Each structure stands twice: as C-alpha cells, then as structure tokens.
Amino acid sequence: AKPFGLIVGPCQLESLEHARMLAEKIAEACAATGTQFVFKGSYDKANRSSLSGKRGLGAEKGLTILSKIREEFGCPVITDVHEPAHCAMAAEAVDVLQIPAFLCRQTDLLLAAGETGRAINVKKGQFLAPWDMDNVAAKLASTGNDKIMLCERGTSFGYNTLVSDFRGLPRMAETGYPVIMDATHSVQQPGGQGTSTGGDRTMVPVLARAAVAVGVAGLFIETHEDPDNAPSDGPNMLRIEDLAPLLATLHALDTVVKPR
C-alpha cells in the first residue's frame, strides 16, 4: 500500500498572500517525510452555525487563488461545492471536488460533481453509518467517475458532540475506494459555543495517530498560523508549526502498518 496522503490547508481562503504563506509552510512541513499533499481551501462557507459567521471570499476570488497555488506549488488543490450548478466552474480550477457532510445524500450534487470527471472527496454525513456510504459512492460511480474518496469526519453522538468510530474506516474501505480521516472536523463540538462551533485541537493528533495505525489512505487536517483568530473552525485547526512533528510520527506509524 502507498504511504498516506494529506489534504491540508486553512478552513477558508483569506487572500492569495495568506494561501501562499500557508502553502509554503505546508510544503516545508511535508518535505521531511515526503508526504504528498493536496492544498485545501473553501471559498464559501455555506452552512455556518449562524448568520454572523463569515461566508468567505466567493467563488471567483477563491478559485483564482487555488489555481495560483496549484501553479506555483505544483500541488493538486481541492475545494468544496454546495450546489450542482457550481461543480463545473469549480472543476476548472481544482483537481478534487469535495462534497460536504450535510450534503452527502443530495443526489443532484453528487451527480453533477461526478460528471466533471474530477476526483471527488465525499464526507460521510454525521447522520450516516459507515455502510450507508456504499449508496453514496454508488451515486457518484453511476457517472462513470471512479476517482472517489470516502471521508470520515465524525458521527452524531448526543447533542453538540461527534464521535469517531474507527471500525468505520475498514468498513468504508470495503467499497474499494480510498478512505480519508478528517482529523479536524471529527473533533468539532457542533453548535457548542452558541452561535459557533467549538472543538478541541489537542485531539487532532490523537485521532490522526489512531487513523493511521488503523490504516487509512489519507488524512484531512486543517491548519492555520493563528487558529484562534481564524475566520472559521479555529478551535479545531492545528497550528502550522505543529504539522511537521505530527507528520513525523504519522509517517513512522504508517510504515509499521503498510509494510513496503
């Protein structure tokens, strides 16, 4: 099996300068372990807890930034889409389209995303069992697109809490598609701060280590140079300076479970 790959970047795109600065630090952090990465950034936060949450830069600015990062760093880029009509446009700028967890059962969005021919990373809804993703993957695959990734990001567990069921990772892998562990959103406490979502970034390495030991194809980690002042998902984002040491541990664990 191949070494784990990384989907990594800020929660939302802030500016070209910011994306470039983070991409540089990410590239540096990944270099030591030779970790392949896909740069992630959202241009529209379409489902904030409350109306007061920042929405983002918008499609035009956001997709331009992602194109530039791809060009300058030679890395693939990924962004999330929220309506069928947005898929084709986003697909021109990015290598991977991401389907948000809340929307993972919306048939039209899945079909529109699949039809672009781009790779698709679909998050497992917080309301779904691992085996429910079989049907989700089948909707995507019906378009003839088999570049599908299934992404665990936590399951509803009582109110304002998610839990990560690691038995779900091998279960989703039975589909034959690569399984990604989103170690950032799995530590969310949705709605846990009244009008925004809480979390606990000290648990990101915990879940990332567990997932790599179980044997995932990839990890999804959001990172920021100053998470506490980031426009969204601050409580869950890893500080950029903590990325390299985490990757070193993960790389060593990965080597144990994927004999090469």
**Shortest separation between residue 158's beta carbon and a copy of itself, angstroms:** 1
Closest CA to 218 of 135, 126, 121: 121
For position 170 contacting a copy of itself by CB under 8 A, the verdict is yes
Our CB check for a copy of itself shows the closer of 145 and 161 to be 161
For position 138 contacting a copy of itself by CB under 8 A, the verdict is yes
In degrees and rounded to multiples of 5, residue 232 shows phi and psi of -160, 155
**Shortest separation between residue 36's beta carbon and a copy of itself, angstroms:** 20
The DSSP secondary-structure symbol of 5 reads: E
**Shortest separation between residue 96's beta carbon and a copy of itself, angstroms:** 22
For position 51 contacting a copy of itself by CB under 8 A, the verdict is yes
For position 252 contacting a copy of itself by CB under 8 A, the verdict is yes
β strands within 81-172, DSSP E:
96-99, 119-123, 148-152, 155-156, 162-163
Residue indicated by tokens 């992602």: 66
Our CB check for a copy of itself shows the closer of 70 and 79 to be 79
Phi-psi region of 230 (alpha: psi -120 to 50; beta: other; left: phi over 0): beta
Binding track over 141-160 against a copy of itself, x by CB under 8 A: -x------------xxxxxx
Are 243 and 221 in contact by the 8 Å Cβ rule? The answer is yes
Are 211 and 203 in contact by the 8 Å Cβ rule? The answer is no
For position 56 contacting a copy of itself by CB under 8 A, the verdict is no
Are 207 and 183 in contact by the 8 Å Cβ rule? The answer is yes
Applying CB under 8 A, the residues found at the interface with a copy of itself are 46-51, 55, 82-85, 102-103, 105-108, 125-129, 131-132, 135, 138-139, 142, 155-161, 163-167, 169-170, 187, 190-191, 195, 200, 202-203, 206-207, 209-215, 249, 252-253, 256-257
